A and B are shown apart, each in its own frame.
Chain A
């Protein structure tokens, strides 16, 4: 199985901060990676697909980059509604695998 190592596991930040979350794949997955946001009690929502394509309707403060084995999600200026948990997902090889998640909390 491809292991997705996501870091950090938790992050404390303030409104207006710029934050970056990283996912490393144990082998190359081209750009077959997505980023999801999950709020408590809700289903995940896709923010980024194909590693760097912004999902329609998602604010442009979210951006993704990377290819192969290293990927990043950046939030350029945190807003109050961004405090949630974030996951990466690789869908290049079965079984598809998620990162462990990053809980973004208010400082």
Chain B
């Protein structure tokens, strides 16, 4: 089955630090990846759509300069939370879509729990 690896799984850092999260599709190529944020006991909220070789598409209300997304290859997308503050603490999850042209399940990484002190 399709496997998505996300790293790191847990980050604790001081306010003002920038944090990079990696999302890799291990056994398939992903032209599209999605980044979600999930606060405790809430739903998955889409932050942005990451497209290989082009700029990411951000959802309304998500700061592009704060959440930098890079999708440099068909197997890797990165999310960098710049100058993180306590309100950025959340569970960040990526998903990858094999994009065969027919609706396919999104495969989720294991998530990254980010805690900003």
Is B one of A's binding partners? Answer: no
